[in-house]
Every structure is written in structure tokens, then in C-alpha cells.
């Protein structure tokens, strides 16, 4: 079973010009922004300042990767469990220029273990995540049971 991906495991090594110490001590959400800096610049977006607590987003396990889907533009990017802040590199969190807090499951490693034990793709979505993708994931994991068929009358 391949390890589950997050910002931390996807970009473990320092990029050129960075010491291992500097890379490891930079908060993970900021490491992600560094990796995505060219895209950020191309989209004309500033680095985020401050936190907008009114807009929560949810971490979702999607085919073995922890992702956050942006409620502003629906693009998805890797999530950082050690640094639960989100900044969309495509829309700058609806142009607000502020971080949004990321809701993670209380027992992340347990969620991962259970998701890896199921057959099929490694998926999980928070019960409070309102996105369509999250609803799809919840339905795949725990499909609603069909009511028992009534007996066929007159046959």
C-alpha cells in the first residue's frame, strides 16, 4: 500500500537554495506556497496575510492524497496536516489574500488506516464537508441501503 500523500510527504526535500533545516522548520502550508510560487505569480496573487476564520475548508482523502478543494474556484490542492491553513494558488481564496482554516479529522491516522483497509481507492470525506466531491466520497464509502423489495403481488 503506497503511503498517503500530503504536503509533508509530497515535498519532503528542500528545493535548490534551501537548507534541510530551513525547509523542515518552515510551516508546511508555506512550503506548499513556495513550491507553487510560479503559479501564484502567474495568477497575480499576493502571499496571504492573516486568517479569515469565517470560511472553513475541509481536508478530504482522495485516491490516497489529502486534498482541500477550494470553495471559491473548485480547484483542489494538497493539504498539510501539520499546518492546517489553506490558500488557493488559483484564486487567492476568492481574492481575499487571507488563509482559511482547514478542518481535519480528529483521528487522522485512524481514518487513513481504515481507508486503506477498504477495497477500492483510498477515500474519506468529513461529514461536515458540503462540497459535491465530498458527498460523492461519503456515498461511495457508505452507500445508502436500498429498502427491501416488496414481494411481487399476483405472481
Residues within the interface to Zn ion (CB under 5 A)? 70, 72-73, 88, 90-91
Instruction: Kindly state the helix (H) or strand (E) to which residue 107 belongs, with its residue range.
Output: none
Please report how close the Cβ of residue 69 comes to Zn ion at its closest, in angstroms: 9
Considering the complex, state which of residue 9 and residue 73 has its C-beta at the smaller distance from Zn ion: 73
Q: If you search the block for the grid coordinates 481514518, which residue do you land on?
A: 111
Please report how close the Cβ of residue 138 comes to Zn ion at its closest, in angstroms: 22
Considering the complex, state which of residue 6 and residue 93 has its C-beta at the smaller distance from Zn ion: 93
Considering the complex, state which of residue 91 and residue 133 has its C-beta at the smaller distance from Zn ion: 91
CB 6 within 8 A of CB 80: yes
Please report how close the Cβ of residue 36 comes to Zn ion at its closest, in angstroms: 12
Look at residue 103 and give its three-state secondary structure. Answer: strand
Instruction: Kindly state the helix (H) or strand (E) to which residue 86 belongs, with its residue range.
Output: strand 85-86
Considering the complex, state which of residue 4 and residue 88 has its C-beta at the smaller distance from Zn ion: 88
Contacts with 81 (C-beta within 8 Å, 6 or more apart), sequence order: 6, 8, 28, 59, 66, 104, 108
Please report how close the Cβ of residue 39 comes to Zn ion at its closest, in angstroms: 12
CB 151 within 8 A of CB 43: no
Amino acid at each position: 500500500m503506497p503511503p498517503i500523500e500530503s504536503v509533508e510527504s509530497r515535498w519532503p526535500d528542500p528545493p535548490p537554495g534551501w537548507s534541510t533545516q530551513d525547509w523542515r522548520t518552515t510551516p508546511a502550508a508555506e512550503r506548499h506556497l513556495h513550491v507553487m510560487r510560479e503559479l501564484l505569480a502567474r495568477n497575480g496573487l499576493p502571499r496571504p496575510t492573516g486568517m479569515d476564520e469565517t470560511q472553513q475548508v475541509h481536508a478530504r482523502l482522495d485516491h490516497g492524497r489529502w486534498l482541500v478543494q477550494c470553495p471559491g474556484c473548485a480547484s483542489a490542492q494538497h493539504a498539510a496536516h501539520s499546518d492546517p491553513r489553506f490558500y488557493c494558488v488559483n484564486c487567492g481564496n476568492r481574492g481575499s489574500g487571507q488563509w482559511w482554516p482547514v478542518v481535519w479529522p480528529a483521528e487522522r491516522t485512524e481514518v487513513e488506516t481504515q481507508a486503506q483497509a477498504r477495497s477500492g481507492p483510498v477515500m474519506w470525506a468529513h461529514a461536515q464537508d458540503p462540497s459535491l466531491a465530498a458527498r460523492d466520497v461519503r456515498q461511495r464509502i457508505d452507500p445508502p441501503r436500498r429498502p427491501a423489495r416488496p414481494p411481487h403481488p399476483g405472481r
